[in-house]
């Protein structure tokens, strides 16, 4: 939240382009449970930091294909008046993974309760489907992938957002780096708006 206050109050007129970055740690508690910590930041193209997310969650492995989890996300985001609004977002997670030939496939389902200071709370469902091709290069694993993520407001059963990703993840030992391009379409009262995002995610496993 402090970073939002210190960042510039407006972005340069460079269109709907953004930079996103996430850092995370996965801490294995035992053979079934993993503690996941995340922090994410989003900038407008002009350098204005406008959005931050902080996560703590736990995942339980049910089988080779399924994991279930609970997550809590705290969100700080600037509105159009540059005021900082916060949101509390408990989440339930159902993660399914499998393989298809040389490809890995994944379906990440989340049910979110979104509690705001500035408006009524709501429920949202989101699903991110991913197709990935792992390539082993010595000690390094490179995995190009494509993903599509849908967002559905459950209060009125409205499809409000879609994200289409193309990226590559590099993993070396317990460290992984994800670089991606994402196109996002978001629905508002004035219609649909597109946003282009360049993103990165750094994760360390313990």
Domains in the chain: ranges and CATH: 2-205 (2.40.160)
Of 58, 57, 121, 111, give the one whose Cα is nearest residue 87.
Answer: 121
Q: Model pTM? A: 0.90
Q: What are the CA-CA distances from residue 192 to residues 22, 179, 185 (Å)?
A: 26, 26, 6
Query: Going by C-beta distance under 8 Å and a sequence separation of 6 or more, which residues neighbour residue 64?
Result: none
Kindly report, residue by residue over 137-191, the tens digit of the pLDDT.
999 999 999 999 999 999 999 999 999 999 999 999 999 999 999 999 999 888 9
Alpha helices in the chain (DSSP H): 2-6
Neighbours of 49 (CB within 10 A): 19
| Residue pLDDT, tens place only, 45-97 | 989 999 999 999 999 999 999 999 999 999 999 998 899 999 999 999 999 99
Distance, in Å, from the CA atom of 179 to the CA atom of 170, rounded to the nearest integer, reads 9
- Distances in Å between the Cα of 163 and the Cα atoms of 97, 128, 147, 182 are 20, 9, 8, 7
> What would the two tokens of residue 182 be?
């994402």
Contact 38, 55 (CB under 8 A): yes
Beta strand 103-116 with 175-188: parallel, antiparallel or unpaired?
A: unpaired
Cα separation, 4 vs 26, in Å, equals: 26
Residue located via tokens 């008046």: 81
Tens digit of each residue's pLDDT (9 = 90 or more) over 110-145: 999 999 988 999 999 999 999 999 999 999 999 999
């Amino acid at each position: 939240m402090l970073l939002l206050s210190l960042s510039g109050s407006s972005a340069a007129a460079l269109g709907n382009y953004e930079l996103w970055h996430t850092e995370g740690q996965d801490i294995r508690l035992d053979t079934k449970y993993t503690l996941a910590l995340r922090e994410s930041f989003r900038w407008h193209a002009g350098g204005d930091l406008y959005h931050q997310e902080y996560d703590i969650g736990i995942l339980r492995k049910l089988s080779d294909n399924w994991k279930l989890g609970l997550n809590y996300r705290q969100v700080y985001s600037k509105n159009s008046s540059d005021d900082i609004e916060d949101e509390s977002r408990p989440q339930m997670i159902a993660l399914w993974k499998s393989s298809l030939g040389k490809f890995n496939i994944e379906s990440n389902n989340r049910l979110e309760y979104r509690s705001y200071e500035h408006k009524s709370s709501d429920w949202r469902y989101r699903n991110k489907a991913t197709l990935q091709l792992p390539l082993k290069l010595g000690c390094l694993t490179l995995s190009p992938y494509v993903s599509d993520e849908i967002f559905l407001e459950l209060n009125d059963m409205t499809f409000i957002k879609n994200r289409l990703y193309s990226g590559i993840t590099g993993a070396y030992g317990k460290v992984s780096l994800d670089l991606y391009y994402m196109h996002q379409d978001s629905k508002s009262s004035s219609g649909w708006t597109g946003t282009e995002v360049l993103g990165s995610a750094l994760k360390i496993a313990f």
